[in-house]
Amino acid sequence: MTKIIVVGAAGRMGRRLVSLAMDSAGKYLLTGATEISGSPFLEQDAGLVAGSGTSGVKISPELAPLLANAEVVIDFSTGNPLANAELAVSAGLGIVIGGTAIEKAQKAAIAELARRGGRIVMSSNMSVGLNLVAGLCAETAGILGDSYDIEIVEMHHSKKKDSPSGSAILLAEAVAAARGCDLDEKAVYGRSGLPGERPRGEIGIHAVRGGDVVGDHTVIFATEGERIEIVHKASSRDAFAKGALRAAEFLRTSKPGLYDMRDVLGLSKGRPAA
């Protein structure tokens, strides 16, 4: 049994994490839940907010008082993942960070926490399928080389705040690494006006927003005479929540370090799957 705290328990992802933990037949135990100060859900039962019945866990505005009775914190919030990671690591807990739009400086500071003994899984997409697709895209990019143009198109619901998605960046980083190039130098985010002919080696990244789309990603490899498309479509947030819970289970017995979902899934050399 893995004892977890869900940060942002009243949000879309937080509610699914709470529900899946409660329905896990004892594999995961919800011991804490938080929301931002001023949330109308504070002091309410996290299970009832999630629509899954009484959990016995009230939603708190503070993380620190909850840490003594848990093993792993799961944070999909848009708040301050670094501050939550510092609290978790200081208390000896693992932390799963699944938020997107985390600044480079914060990522560097989180990596430093791991070097100092923290157990952290950080990924912009916790889906098992998307991470498998990232591996396929990297392998494809390595085989095809820059004679094939790469374009990445992502679509999400109209309420998504960041663009492009963290998952699109994850895919772009995977293909750039396979090509041995710097994504910052090769990425182009959308096109307008008269940009001219497409330079060789460019990686296009495009965001589409509308409706209630949970997350669609298409990686296109195109050359003269043919086109390859690798597609991943998420129809439910459960895909991300299940991956995050699997990451929490992984951290329960892992050594200190900074991990991603490839480590959790056993896709990195020398690491067993959770």
pTM: 0.81
**Element housing 258 (H / E):** strand 257-259
- Helix or strand holding residue 42 (H, E): none
* CA-only gyration radius of the chain, Å: 19
How far apart CA 271 and CA 263 sit, in angstroms, is 6
Contact criterion met (CB below 8 Å) for 212 and 206: no
pLDDT (tens place) for every residue of the chain, 274 residues total: 999 999 999 998 999 999 999 999 989 999 999 999 999 999 999 999 999 999 999 999 999 999 999 999 999 887 788 999 999 999 999 999 987 767 888 889 999 999 999 999 998 888 989 999 999 999 999 999 999 999 999 999 999 988 999 899 999 999 999 999 999 999 999 999 988 999 999 999 999 999 999 999 999 999 999 999 999 999 988 999 999 999 999 999 899 999 999 899 887 654 444 4
Q: Which helix (H) or strand (E) holds 22?
A: helix 12-22
CA angle 78, 242, 209 (to 5 degrees): 50
The secondary structure element, H or E, covering residue 191 is: none
| HSE (side-chain half, CA atoms, 13 Å) at 121 | 30
Q: Could you tell me the domains of the chain? A: 2-122+237-264 (3.40.50.720), 128-234 (3.30.360.10)
In this structure, what DSSP letter does residue 254 have?
A: P
Number of H helices, E strands in the chain: 9, 12
pLDDT in the model for residue 84: 93
Q: What are the residues facing 2 on neighbouring strands? A: 28
77 by Cβ neighbours in 10 Å (0-12 / 13-18 / 19+) ranks as buried
Among 82, 17, 164, which residue's Cα sits nearest to residue 173?
164
CA distances (Å), 179 to each of 146, 166, 198, 219, 267, in order? 7, 20, 17, 15, 19
Distance of alpha carbon 274 from alpha carbon 270, whole angstroms: 13
List of residues 6+ apart from 221 with CB closer than 8 A: 140, 141, 144, 148, 149, 150, 227, 228, 229, 230
Q: Which residues are part of the catalytic machinery? A: 156, 160
